[in-house]
Chains A and B, each alone.
Chain A
């Protein structure tokens, strides 16, 4: 599944969840982690990633840290307290959506059944 439109709606949740599990991450690292976790099935495009990161930063969900790496400056993102609270809200929202989608696609499906 590599439909960008499907990923777009859940991109913020993906970013927040990854940052919850990893203390801090930089842009490229996020794209690679998603690729690695989904075995290349989901590829986050740079075109969507950076606007999403900047939006979350402006909303106060993420904080940034600047660090000198080799001969360049790297911007690390990490969750703020508000961001930590938002992760669980976004996760239950997404899980509920996936559950509802499953019910539409397969009316015989019940939560908990494989």
Chain B
């Protein structure tokens, strides 16, 4: 095994960049494979071995690998969130949830105006916003070495596991808007004010549960992935 020269490393990077891989996980794995393999050969054999590797890691193969990885990452995040909801919130924790539910309902009943109920609904979304900022920062920090290595690749490098989590972070915002505007449009003739406190409390609890489960998924996955 020999250390590769900077020129050789540049050749490897150029070769991998041509494959236009955007998944950080696939990119780092292929880059490590190339270096580990080429370190075993002499300088004279370098070009020949690089061509051989390129024939194995073709554009089509890399994109198929990336496509399957992204698909599996989405399924994995979905399954992990369900697993968290089912296992994490076991019997004793559901008791806590009932207590929180009662408290939120009590607070909602005390609210006198729609604005106060709006603030109640907003609280899990604020938690989500803070989580989103922290998630973005952590992701940026973890991807920085890879982005630095492949500077000038011309395409945005992202963690395949980060995208499904980000999508899930935006989902409650869309749902909250739906819960706020749709009843007003459909039931415009009916006075919804007696149901508002209970509705707001239920949505707040559901949103909080969703946000906590998503944060737990991030915590689990951050130990092993680039998120």
Of A4-12, A46-54, A87-95, A97-105, the one contacting chain B is A46-54
Extra 5 A-B pairs, beta carbons < 8 Å, given A47-B56, A73-B146: A26-B36, A27-B32, A28-B37, A54-B72, A72-B31
The smallest beta-carbon distance between B70 and chain A, in angstroms, is 11
List the A side residues contacting B36 at CB < 8 Å. Answer: 26, 28-29
30 A–B contact pairs at CB < 8 A?
Answer: A26-B32, A27-B32, A27-B33, A28-B36, A28-B37, A29-B36, A45-B56, A46-B56, A54-B68, A54-B69, A55-B72, A58-B72, A58-B75, A63-B224, A65-B224, A66-B28, A66-B224, A66-B225, A66-B226, A68-B145, A71-B149, A72-B28, A72-B145, A72-B149, A73-B28, A73-B146, A73-B226, A75-B25, A75-B28, A75-B32
Task: Find out whether the CB atom of B32 lies under 8 angstroms from the CB atom of A74.
Answer: yes
Task: Find out whether the CB atom of B65 lies under 8 angstroms from the CB atom of A50.
Answer: yes
Q: Which residues of A contact B (CB under 8 A)?
A: 26-29, 45-47, 50-51, 54-55, 57-58, 63-66, 68-75
The smallest beta-carbon distance between A60 and chain B, in angstroms, is 9
Residue of A45, A51, A64, A73 touching B32 (CB-CB under 8 A): A73
The interface residues of chain B, by DSSP majority, are classed as helix
List the B side residues contacting A46 at CB < 8 Å. Answer: 33, 56-57
Return the chain B residue nearest A53 by Cβ.
Answer: B29
List the A side residues contacting B28 at CB < 8 Å. Answer: 66, 72-75
List the A side residues contacting B20 at CB < 8 Å. Answer: none
The smallest beta-carbon distance between B87 and chain A, in angstroms, is 13
List the A side residues contacting B96 at CB < 8 Å. Answer: none
Residue of B31, B35, B57, B75 contacting most chain A CB atoms (<10 Å): B35
The interface residues of chain A, by DSSP majority, are classed as mixed
Q: Which residues of B contact A (CB under 8 A)?
A: 25, 28-29, 31-33, 35-37, 56-57, 61, 65, 68-69, 72, 75-76, 145-146, 149, 224-226
List the A side residues contacting B56 at CB < 8 Å. Answer: 45-47
List the B side residues contacting A64 at CB < 8 Å. Answer: 224-225
List the B side residues contacting A63 at CB < 8 Å. Answer: 224
List the A side residues contacting B31 at CB < 8 Å. Answer: 72
Task: Find out whether the CB atom of A28 lies under 8 angstroms from the CB atom of B72.
Answer: no
- In the bound assembly, the distance between CA atoms of A77 and B65 in angstroms comes to 17
List the B side residues contacting A45 at CB < 8 Å. Answer: 56
List the B side residues contacting A66 at CB < 8 Å. Answer: 28, 224-226
- In the bound assembly, the distance between CA atoms of A57 and B221 in angstroms comes to 12
List the B side residues contacting A28 at CB < 8 Å. Answer: 32-33, 36-37
Return the chain A residue nearest B61 by Cβ.
Answer: A47
List the B side residues contacting A54 at CB < 8 Å. Answer: 65, 68-69, 72
Return the chain B residue nearest A27 by Cβ.
Answer: B33
Residue of B29, B37, B76 contacting most chain A CB atoms (<10 Å): B29
- In the bound assembly, the distance between CA atoms of A43 and B123 in angstroms comes to 57
Return the chain A residue nearest B9 by Cβ.
Answer: A71
Residue of A27, A58, A73, A75 touching B145 (CB-CB under 8 A): A73
- Nearest first, the 8 closest Cβ-Cβ pairs linking A and B are A28-B36, A58-B72, A73-B28, A64-B224, A46-B56, A28-B33, A74-B32, A75-B29
Return the chain A residue nearest B33 by Cβ.
Answer: A28
